[in-house]
Each structure stands twice: as C-alpha cells, then as structure tokens.
Structure 1
Amino acid sequence: MTSATPNIRLYVEHDLGTDREFLIDGNQGHYLINVMRMKEGEVVALFNGRDGEWMARLEKVGKGKALVRVLGHLEDQAEEPDLWYLFAPVKKARLDYMVEKATELGVSLIRPVMTRRTIVDRVKEERLRANAIEAAEQCGRLTVPEIEEPVKLDKLLAGWPDDRLIMFCDEAGGEGAQDIKPVGEAVAQAGQSSGLTKWAILIGPEGGFSPEERQMIRSHPQTVAVTLGPRILRADTAAVAAISLWQSFAGDWQ
C-alpha cells in the first residue's frame, strides 16, 4: 500500500472495504481527472456516511472517469449529534452559504420550511444536496446531512415527533417574550426536564414569523424558545450563531 496521504476527499454511495473496486465518473470523475489532473497510482480518501473513511488508489483513468481500488481503512465512523436544521428559504447565494455552514457545523438533517413571509417559493433539493456533499468533503466530516423536501410550517408542527425538541430562535417580541432564555440556559433546562437529547433548530424568514405562526410555534409542547442576543440577525447569520451555540452546550463541542 502506498504511504502517501490523500489530500482529496470524496463522498461515494458505494460500500467501502479493502480491495473493493468501482468507477468514479460524472461530476466527481471530471473533478478528479480534468480539474485536479490526477493520474494512475495516486490516492484519494473516500467516505459514504456508514463505513468510516478509506484510502483508495486510482487504478485506471479515462476521459472524466477513474476506476478506484480501496486500499485500507483511515478512520472509524463516529457517532454525531442528532440535530436538525429547519429554515425558511432565502435567495440563492445566501441559501448556498446556509447549507454549507450548517453542514460544516455538524447538522444531521436540513429541511426548508415554508412560512407566510418566505420570499423563495421553490427550492432545488439536488442543489442543496450537492452543496452539502461538497461541504462535507471539505470539512472532514464522515457523513452528509439528509436533505428533506420543503414542508409548510403547520404541517411540520402537526407531524412533529415526540422524541425531539425544537429550539425556536424567537425574535423576542410580543406575548411570551418574558419566557425567552439564552441558549445555554434554555437547552440545559429543557434537556434535564424532558430527558430528550434530539433537537431541531428552527430559523424564520427574513421578515420574521407572522404573529400567528409565532404563537403556533410557541404553543407546541416540544418548543424551547431562545434568544440569540440583543441584535437582530439576518437568517444566515442566525443559523451559524444558533448551531454554534447549540453545539457548544449540547453537541460535540462540549
């Protein structure tokens, strides 16, 4: 086995194990051969979200494709926090940023939520997944977040699972604002009282949730309302802040 350390990581759907062979083509094949100019005998790191990370060697290369052979194991699959990221879609560039950063910060599932003030009415799930895969490859994590289809807020809450809490990033205005706590305090209290460890973070649209939506969210028994501080944050900034704070208090940053 070569002793070279792979500096390119790729997510694949194939099962990974010693001496397995398969073809990498499409966008990934183009990236390896035409962009990175990789040659036969060079190595890459592969992961599939199930089997950990493995080293593989390019056995044969062609026009935009490569046959790879898995050589050996690099890293075991590790358990990750079970954190959903639910958000009202925003415009394209900021949406790409939000998915990228949510992936880097370790969320397990990403799902757009349609609200009254959502400004984007269509979301390309394949684009979200492509962005999540690229971010996972770059940041070193061994999984890619699940991407689920957009859902209306009322339908989301109506079918909410009993074993998961909702960290609601409230705008801290109107009825109920006195109950909103900083993230660390709110997460700790809710976790202790409920015994639950699964969470979702809910981020609203640029114009905020409507009063009716806010009341619907706050009245849900699994909701934990939190504040992200004294300033009004853009949706993409709020996402990064909320996920980072949750990871520091209840996730893998402890």
Structure 2
Amino acid sequence: MTTYDFSAQRLFVRDDLAMGVEIAPSSEASNYLLNVLRMREGAAIHLFNGRDGEYRATLFDVSRRSAKLRVAERLRAQTGLADLDYCFAPLKQARLDYMAQKAVEMGAGRLVPVITRRTQARRLNAARLQANVIEAAEQCGVLAVPEIAPAVELDDFLARLPAERLLVFCDERAACANPFDALAGRPAQAGVSVLIGPEGGFDDAERAALMRLPNVAPISLGPRVLRADTAAVAALAIVQAAFGDWRAQGAADV
C-alpha cells in the first residue's frame, strides 16, 4: 500500500467510496477545491466519508466553477468510533466552535449537548456544530466522524446513562487532587462519558445528583480556574491517557 501522506489535503464527502468511482462534488466543495485550495486538473486529494475508509482521488473535467473527482486506491481502512462521549453544557457560539473542534481532535466518538441550570446558550445551531466537527476531522486525520446527539436536559441525561458506564465529570470540589489517582481502578469497559459543566459549574442539586450515580468519577483539573472550553481539552486528555488511545497500542478500553 502507498505510504500515507499526512500533509495531504482531505475532503469529507457523503458519497460511497470505492476505486474507480466518479464523484461530482457539491458547489460548496467545488468552490473549496478550486478557489480556496486552488487545485487544478490532475491534482490529488484524500477523500473520506466516515464509512469506507480514506481514498486518494484526482480532479478531472475541471471548469471555472466545477470539477469531478475520480477515486483511486484506498489509503486507510475505516476505523470505528471510540466509545468516548464528550458531554458538554453549550457555550456561546465562538467558544462552542473551538470546543467542538478540540473534542474531535481529542478522539471523542460522540458529542452530547447537556442543558444545565447555568448553561449559557440553550439554543444550538446544529448545522454549524456539524460543520465544525467535519472541518476538524478533515484537518486532523480523523476517519470516523463523531456523532452529534440531540440536546438533553441534565436530569434526563443522568436517567438514561447506563449504570455500568463510567461518568467522569470535572468537579472543583473533587476530594482527590490528582485526576489519575481518582480514575485508578475505575471500570471503563462499558465506555466513558466525560461531562463538562457550564461556566460557574454545576449547582449543589446537580452535583448531588451526579454524586449519587453508581459509576461516577469526579476529577480535579488542577489549582487553576479553567474556562469550560479549556477544561474540555484537559479532561479529554486525562481520560485518553488513563483509558484511551494515548496508552500503548492494544491497551485501549474506549
């Protein structure tokens, strides 16, 4: 198989991918290829759709406003989504964009908006959230595009959470200062959900409900007060190091 080129441009498509297939990109994708990337006849790009792996393709039948793509060899086999849910209280739009992009880069398999009492933004632009997820996947080599769940109230989220699933939530009152000590020995075989609260954190009633769960791990993120979007990156990094694909190959649980 051809050596993978990590510097290559990548494009997410919704079409089925297989060697020899010809694709007519959308007008938006064509504009991106021709006017943003300034690609011309015969230029190569990597395509993925979250189902069929990643393929090399070349542009042909190029005009001023459109082009077609001819799919060549497969470069990478499809990978599955990690059983790692990133659950977050929505923020105002610019910071939510950043948070969604970083969650994808950090290997989350599903994004779950959770509405808490102190949530800043209760209305989500689902199309914009999806666009940020896809853009992050294109830029950082992700093959399995994370799912986006419908927004859910915290009470409903907790009621639906399987008892055996590990819930990790950032808690400024966590008794254990070292997050890795707090996670040591926790069962994660049934998957992990990381819950990030809003600015100002969870209120007392919400925190009490979280602490009553059978498989919950409150963790500290250190002595500094972090913004919610920064806390997301820190928490996901800790979970990936403790349970996920940052560990030795073959040892991941999520």
TM-score exceeds 0.5: yes
CA distance 1:3–1:218, shift in 2 (3 Å) = closer
User: Which structure carries more strand by proportion?
Assistant: 1
What is the alpha-carbon distance in structure 2 between the residues aligned to residue 213 and residue 224 of structure 1?
Answer: 15
TM-aligned CA deviation for residue 63 of structure 1: 4.7
Point out where structure 1 has 5 or more consecutive residues left out of the alignment: none
- RMSD value over aligned CA atoms? 2.1
Query: Which residue of the partner structure matches residue 52 of structure 2?
Result: 51
TM-aligned CA deviation for residue 79 of structure 1: 4.4
Picking from 184, 187, 190, the partner of 1:188 is: 184
Is residue 157 from structure 1 mapped to residue 158 from structure 2 by the alignment? yes
TM-aligned CA deviation for residue 222 of structure 1: 2.7
What is the alpha-carbon distance in structure 2 between the residues aligned to residue 131 and residue 98 of structure 1?
Answer: 9
CA distance 1:218–1:63, shift in 2 (3 Å) = farther
Query: Which residue of the partner structure matches residue 134 of structure 2?
Result: 133
Q: Secondary structure at the match of 1:129?
A: helix
TM-aligned CA deviation for residue 4 of structure 1: 11
AA aligned opposite 2:8: N
Moved over 6 A (4+): none
Point out where structure 2 has 5 or more consecutive residues left out of the alignment: 248-254
CA distance 1:65–1:166, shift in 2 (3 Å) = farther
What is the alpha-carbon distance in structure 2 between the residues aligned to residue 31 and residue 160 of structure 1?
Answer: 40
AA aligned opposite 2:107: G
Q: Indicate conservation of the 8 Å contact 2:90/2:96, yes or no.
A: yes
Query: Which residue of the partner structure matches residue 199 of structure 1?
Result: 192
What is the alpha-carbon distance in structure 2 between the residues aligned to residue 62 and residue 163 of structure 1?
Answer: 56
Query: Which residue of the partner structure matches residue 167 of structure 2?
Result: 166
Query: Which residue of the partner structure matches residue 216 of structure 2?
Result: 223
TM-aligned CA deviation for residue 188 of structure 1: 3.0
TM-aligned CA deviation for residue 197 of structure 1: 4.4
TM-score (norm 2): 0.90
Q: Secondary structure at the match of 1:16?
A: coil
Q: Indicate conservation of the 8 Å contact 1:187/1:250, yes or no.
A: no
- The one-character-per-residue Cα deviations of 1:21-41 (angstroms, maximum 9, x if unpaired) are 121113222100122221121
TM-aligned CA deviation for residue 84 of structure 1: 0.6
TM-score (norm 1): 0.90
Percent pairwise identity = 47
Q: Secondary structure at the match of 1:28?
A: helix
- The one-character-per-residue Cα deviations of 1:112-159 (angstroms, maximum 9, x if unpaired) are 111101111211111111001001100111121111121110011111
What is the alpha-carbon distance in structure 2 between the residues aligned to residue 92 and residue 4 of structure 1?
Answer: 35
Q: Secondary structure at the match of 1:101?
A: helix
Is residue 18 from structure 1 mapped to residue 19 from structure 2 by the alignment? yes
How many aligned positions are there?
A: 245
CA distance 1:211–1:141, shift in 2 (3 Å) = same
Q: Secondary structure at the match of 1:96?
A: helix
